[in-house]
Structure formats: C-alpha cells, structure tokens
Copies of this chain bind each other. A is one copy, B any other.
Amino acid sequence: MPRVTEQHRAARKEQILDATMRCVAREGFHKTSMAQIIEESGLSAGAVYVYFRSKRDIIAAIAERAISTIQPMVDSPPQLADPPSPSEIIEMITTAVVEHAQSLEVDVTRVAVAIWGEALRDESIREIAVEVFGRIRTVLAASIQAQKDRGTLAPSTDVNNAAKTLFSLMPGFILQRLILNDVAPASYAAGARALGIP
C-alpha cells in the first residue's frame, strides 16, 4: 500500500490510541498489556509497532491527548459577554466532563487518574500533566481576576493562590465521581457557592 497519506497514518494512530484509551480506562496503564491493545485495536502486533515505538510512547501519546481533550472543556463558550464566575466555571467544566464521559465509550476521567499515577514515575508524562494543570489554572486565574476587578472578591486577593485552591475542585470532582459516585455538577457548584465561592 504505497502512497499512504499522512491522513492514513493519523487515522491508524487514532485507532491504536482509541483502543488503548478503552483498555486504560478499564485497567490502568500497567495492567493493560500490549496484547490487549493489539486485540482491541484490531491490528497486528507489528502494525502497532509501526506507529508507536514502545508501550511508553503509547502512554505518552495518551497523556498528550488529555491536553486537547481538556482544552475545549476549559475554554469558556465565546458567546458569554461576562466572563463566568469561578463557581460557574466549575459547573461548566464538570458538566463538560460528565457529558464527555457519558457520550464516549471511554470515561476520560478514568484515564486521567491513570495519568496522575504515571506522572509520578515518568518525567515526560509529568511534563504533560504540568502543562494541562497549568492551562486549567490559567483559565481559573482569569476568572478570579475578573471577580476581583468587579469587586466580588477582595482587592487583597492573591489570584495565583486562589487559582491553586480553586483548581482542586476539578480533580476532587473526578475522584469523588469515580470512587463515591455521589457528585453532580449542579450540586457540586452549589456546594462551592454555599462555601462562599462567588
């Protein structure tokens, strides 16, 4: 099959990564064997290794996917004239997370937890996590700054500190949803407001 397009290559890579996501969401990175990925992808062992040099590379690619998966979730809908408040952002993101998780065959949040674990033992995965965390925090910091400008938050507010604290609501939601399964975007955001978060 000569003259195979870049498109074809990209599609195959997606095929492998899609299969891997399904496996990892179920079993985590290290309980997912290459044999499972191969089986799930419908390709042969050799084919998988044409597109990825090692299992580590596949894991890294999965982690990188998180960046592009998260991005549309954290980007505020452009039609909003006013920047959303922190609790609104929380509700927006958690809603997007839940919807995404339910619409696809894989729950990305399960993969996210696997990535957190991998970030602790693989520096290059950690770097990817650093970037994702940073992007989310930036969005949250902008919202906090807007509240401060508007007077809803005290002028003395340290935006970065507040963003770090606010950021926690994202992984905390994911974790409680997956393990306790008793959180929902609306009530979670309501809880944030009840605590005083604008």
Please, which residues of chain B bring their CB within 8 A of the CB of A29?
30
Chain B residue with Cβ nearest A119: B179
Please, which residues of chain B bring their CB within 8 A of the CB of A129?
179
Size class of A's contact patch?
35 or more
Q: Which of B157, B167, B188 contacts A165 (CB 8 A)?
A: B188
Chain A, 179-198, CB within 8 A of any chain B CB: 179-180, 182-183, 187-188, 190-192, 194-198
Interface membership of chain A positions 95-129, coded 1 if the CB is closer than 8 angstroms to chain B and 0 otherwise: 00000000000000010011011111100001001
Q: Chain A interface secondary structure, helix, strand, loop or mixed?
A: helix
Given A154-B194, A194-B153, decide whether A164 and B179 contact each other with a Cβ distance below 8 A: no
How far is the CB of A72 from the nearest CB of chain B, in Å?
Answer: 22
Chain B residue with Cβ nearest A109: B120
Interface membership of chain A positions 158-170, coded 1 if the CB is closer than 8 angstroms to chain B and 0 otherwise: 1001111111111
Given A172-B171, A172-B172, A173-B168, decide whether A179 and B28 contact each other with a Cβ distance below 8 A: no
Q: Which of B173, B179, B182 contacts A116 (CB 8 A)?
A: B179
How far is the CB of A38 from the nearest CB of chain B, in Å?
Answer: 14
Q: Which of B28, B154, B194 contacts A161 (CB 8 A)?
A: B194
